[in-house]
Amino acid sequence: MKFVLKQLKVGRYAGQWRFAIVAANNEKIDPRQLYNEREGAERAIELIRSMRDAPVEVIE
């Protein structure tokens, strides 16, 4: 299974980003897996890798 980490802009100001983990079919895995900070991406990738041996792509 392939996972994609998408970066979503959620506000008008710089730095207001969320990271959503989605499956290859673009379904969100869990709405609680959203991160407000850029370093959240690293935690999200670690979470995915701990769940499965899955490749991760970061899409801007």
Per-residue pLDDT for the chain (60 aa), expressed as one digit of tens each?
Answer: 455 666 655 556 555 555 555 554 555 555 445 444 455 666 666 766 665 555 555 554
> Whole-prediction pTM value?
0.29
Boundaries of domain holding 53: 3-59
Cα within 13 Å of Cα(6), Cβ side: 14
Question: What is the reported pLDDT for 11?
Answer: 58
Number of domains in the chain: 1
How far, CA to CA in Å, does 53 sit from each of 22, 29, 48?
Answer: 15, 16, 8
Tokens of 28: 């969100």
Question: What is the reported pLDDT for 37?
Answer: 47
